[in-house]
C-alpha cells in the first residue's frame, strides 16, 4: 500500500459537483493499493498516518501528529499511485490491485484510521473525483508499506 500524505489547512472532494468529503486542518491521504497487499499493509499505513509528527507547535517544527491537533483525515483512493512510468510514455498499472481487493483494503484503511480515534472523511471509490486543497507548508510525505522508499 502506498500513500501520498499532504498536510492541509482544508481539503474537499467532490463527485458530480456534490461535496462527498471535507476536512479543515489535517491530512489529505491519497491511497493506492498494490496487488499483493493485505491487512498488515493497511495496519502499517494507518499507524504511520496516525502517528507521524507533521504539525508544528510552540515554534517546534513537526512536533505533533494529526490527532494531537484535533485534525481530520480525508482519504481518497488513487490507484495511479502504482503507475510505473519507467518505460515508454504511458504508465503501467500492473502492480495495482484489482478493484475488488483495492476497495476492501481501502475501506479497511478508513476503519483502521477511525480506530485510532481520527475523524475520517472519504471520496467515492472508483468515481471521477475533484480534490481541492489548501496545502499547509507545503508538507508532503510518501509512504510505502513495503518500504520501497
CA atoms within 13 A on the CB side of 130: 7
Q: Is 104 exposed, middle or buried (0-12, 13-18, 19+ CB in 10 A)?
A: middle
**Which of the following is catalytic: 39, 47, 51, 80?**
80
Confirm whether 79 is a catalytic residue.
Answer: yes
> Are the C-beta atoms of 75 and 22 separated by less than 8 Å?
no
Q: C-alpha cell of 121?
A: 472523511
Residues 6+ apart with CB under 8 A from 11: 21, 22, 23, 26, 28, 74, 131, 132, 133, 134
- Of 126, 136, 120, nearest to 21 (Cα)? 120
The active-site residue out of 6, 14, 55, 78 is 78
Q: Is 47 a catalytic residue?
A: no
Q: Which of 6, 79, 82, 122 is catalytic?
A: 79
The reply to whether 80 belongs to the active site is yes
Instruction: Cite the active site residues.
Output: 78-80
Amino acid at each position: 500500500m502506498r500513500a501520498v500524505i499532504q498536510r492541509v489547512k482544508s481539503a474537499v472532494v467532490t463527485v458530480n459537483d456534490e461535496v462527498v468529503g471535507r476536512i479543515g486542518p489535517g491530512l489529505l491521504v491519497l491511497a493506492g493499493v498494490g496487488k499483493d497487499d493485505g491487512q498488515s499493509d493497511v495496519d502499517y499505513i494507518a499507524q504511520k498516518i496516525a502517528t507521524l509528527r507533521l504539525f508544528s507547535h510552540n515554534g517546534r517544527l513537526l512536533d505533533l501528529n494529526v490527532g494531537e491537533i484535533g485534525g481530520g483525515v480525508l482519504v481518497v483512493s488513487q490507484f495511479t499511485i502504482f503507475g510505473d512510468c519507467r518505460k515508454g510514455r504511458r504508465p503501467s498499472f500492473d502492480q495495482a490491485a484489482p478493484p475488488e481487493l483495492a476497495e476492501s483494503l481501502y475501506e479497511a484503511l478508513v476503519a483502521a484510521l477511525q480506530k485510532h480515534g481520527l475523524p475520517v472523511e472519504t471520496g467515492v471509490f472508483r468515481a471521477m473525483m475533484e480534490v481541492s486543497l489548501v496545502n499547509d507548508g507545503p508538507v508532503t510525505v510518501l509512504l510505502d508499506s513495503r518500504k520501497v522508499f
